[in-house]
Amino acid sequence: MTNDLADRVLGGELRALSRTLTMLERGNPEAGGVMKRLDPQTGRSYTVGITGPPGVGKSTLVDRLAEHLRSQGLTVGILAVDPTSPFTGGALLGDRIRMQRHYLDDGVFIRSVATRGQSGGLPRIVKSMVRALDAAGKDVILVETVGVGQTELGIMGVADSVVVAMTPESGDSIQTLKAGVMEIADLYVINKADRDGANQLAGAVTAMLQMADLSGGWNPQVLLTQAYANVGISELWDGIGAHRDFLTDTGGLQARRSERRRSEFLETVQEELHRRLIKRLGEDTKLHTLLENIEGKSAEPYGEAMRLLDDDVDLARVVSGGC
């Protein structure tokens, strides 16, 4: 059944792809088998990360880029990473609306990914999802994330090219850059470029880039767009293409992708260890008592955590069920 599902994904069947992504999200034990069969067929897609603070028009940018790619005959996969409320657990409505727009076009596959249960950052499962979309034959994969400061750093680990979007009116833009975003962008987009201050912001970003030490590396482009009016979109795609050529020529593309596979493995181990620990805590009386003591102040949290890990027998029992 696993092989059958994988073969249908490889054949480009969208329902099979969708089901595979759900299996990954839920930690379905069969997901590993599917991914193993898909993996040899990966490596042909190009992955673009698009990030920036809320309100800069990322969704419109992604939509317009998808339209542009479709007009060139390329197939597109979109992973929209949604910040979700820890209370409702639901994704934002936006993507439902967008879904409808591309409904009749089989060449665009859109999937919302909730960040449920993680305190910011990119869900680790996104790396696995990108590989599934890759195997399903999408030419370009667009990963859209919201963030500011450190939040978008995760996008570096997922995308071949990273686009950071800003607007002239978000007065925070330069502060955002300073907060560590500068190093992650391969291209800067000043969206809503018809508004006051767009050229000024573009100049400020360019000046910051000139001050930075980029010796021997890629010199990030700064582009002006008006996504809503479809202005600057083909130039953006050309800019991404230039970065892609640079990466290919310098061997950077291969390096990024190897590193991505490595971190996918490590992050999956970490996440799954945590999931098993939580599950075990629910079942194990001794640990249950320890947690109650910690809550009730008769045991100290930090020291008890270290003690648990220093005790091999206990640890093995906690995470794997006995050894």
- Count of residues that bind its own copies according to CB under 8 A: 91
Asked if 316 interacts with its own copies (CB under 8 A), we say yes
Helix boundaries (H) for 182-300: 198-211, 233-250, 252-283, 285-295
Stretch that binds its own copies, among 29-37, 69-77, 96-104, 197-205 (CB under 8 A): 29-37
Asked if 43 interacts with its own copies (CB under 8 A), we say yes
Asked if 194 interacts with its own copies (CB under 8 A), we say no
* Pick from 136, 180, 190, 186: nearest CA to 160: 186
* Nearest distance from C-beta of residue 37 to its own copies, angstroms: 9
Asked if 217 interacts with its own copies (CB under 8 A), we say no
CB-based contact 38:203 (threshold 8 Å)? no
Asked if 320 interacts with its own copies (CB under 8 A), we say yes
Which residues within the stretch 70-99 sit at the binding site for its own copies (CB under 8 A)?
83-87, 92
DSSP 74-107: --EEEEEEE---TTT-PPPSHHHHHHHHTTT-TT
CB-based contact 127:115 (threshold 8 Å)? no
Q: Which two tokens stand for residue 207?
A: 């000046």
Asked if 40 interacts with its own copies (CB under 8 A), we say yes
Which residues within the stretch 115-174 sit at the binding site for its own copies (CB under 8 A)?
115, 118-122, 127-128, 131, 146-154, 156-157, 169-172
* Nearest distance from C-beta of residue 188 to its own copies, angstroms: 17
Secondary element (H or E) of residue 46: strand 46-51
The 262-301 contact track toward its own copies, x by CB under 8 A, reads: x-xxx-xxx-xxx-xxx--x---------x--xxxx--xx
211 class by beta-carbon count within 10 Å (0-12 exposed, 13-18 middle, 19+ buried): exposed
Nearer to its own copies, 234 or 263 (CB): 263
